[in-house]
Amino acid sequence: METAFAEDFATELHEIQTSNHLEQSLASLSRRLGFDHFALTLEPRASEASIPDLLLHDYPDEWAKVYTGFDLSGRDPVRRACDHSFIGFAWKSIGDFIPLTRGDRQMLAVGSECGIGDGYTVPRHLPGMARGSCSFVVRPGKSLPQNSLAIAELTGALALTCALGLSDMRRAPKDPKLSDRQRECLLWVARGKTASETAIILGISTDTVIQHLKIARERYEVHCKQALILSALFDGVIGFADVFRLSGANEA
């Protein structure tokens, strides 16, 4: 179910040529997942300062006016928490990443008064190039759709990859981030295979697969499989189509 949903969204995003089209697709996606609003932000690193930030959302007008009018982005606890996570997180767990100040709690309370309840944010980091996040939000008094969070993680990362391409922030690295063999190991793990299963498929030892994945994590400076997969997807080293088409074929 999750694979089919993500593959459908990947196919839809493949046709997107403008930020307005991406905004419409995300608005539709958020409703299908059981959320009420979305927000996607992408900003260049210092070396790409000439490229403008990208902000897409369908937040209530009242909150949008407060947020931009008082320039709250620099004090946003959600944004600050993104700097401490490579995987998605619910806003109720922000305190696990950063200490919440009185001002943070006040900002969250004002957001609630303006129609913004709990949310789930997918952060992305591309060292030296860009940082961004994709948030899916519910109205006050409504719980996050727990069954949709895994799909939100996948589709949020994909939406950010699409936004990166639209913004012209992506550039080809001077050298490949991963070797061909490291990429092969990562692809099979992303398709749901264990290290031992990947070893059989590639005709190498399990220890060799584990070592390749360890080096890949070190190169991306992440510490778990999920963060490695999402970082490589965002970087363009592996693609959603590669992952989902073959995993779907295997399930069939």
pLDDT exceeds 70 at position 245: no
State the helix-helix crossing angle for 240-251 and 180-190, rounded to 10 degrees: 50
Reply yes or no on whether the pLDDT at 184 is more than 90.
yes
* 119 beta partners: 137
For the residues 226-252, what does the mean pLDDT come to? 66
Radius of gyration for the chain, computed over Cα atoms and rounded to the nearest angstrom = 19
- pLDDT at residue number 4: 67
pLDDT tops 60 at residue 166: yes
pLDDT at res. 71: 76
- Has residue 138 got a pLDDT over 80? yes
Task: Provide the whole-model pTM.
Answer: 0.76
Distance in angstroms (rounded) separating the CA atoms of residues 247 and 190: 9
Structure-model confidence comparison of residues 232 and 36, the more confident one? 36
For range 171-177, the mean pLDDT = 56
Which pLDDT does position 25 carry in this prediction?
95
User: What confidence tier does 121 reach under pLDDT thresholds 50, 70, 90?
Assistant: very high
* Confidence grade of residue 27 (pLDDT, cut at 50, 70, 90): very high
CA-nearest of 120, 181, 113 to 145 is 120
**Cβ neighbours of residue 100 closer than 8 Å, sequence gap 6 or more:** 77, 94
**196-224: pLDDT as tens digits:** 999 999 999 999 999 999 999 998 877 88
How far apart are alpha carbons 44 and 51 in whole angstroms?
Answer: 7
**How many angstroms separate the CA atoms of 98 and 82, rounded?**
10
Are 149 and 129 a contacting pair, CB within 8 Å? no
| pLDDT score at 69 | 80
Look at residue 160 and tell me whether its pLDDT is greater than 50: yes
Residue 222 has a pLDDT of 79
What domains can be seen in the chain, in order of their start residue? 1-167 (3.30.450.80), 180-244 (1.10.10.10)
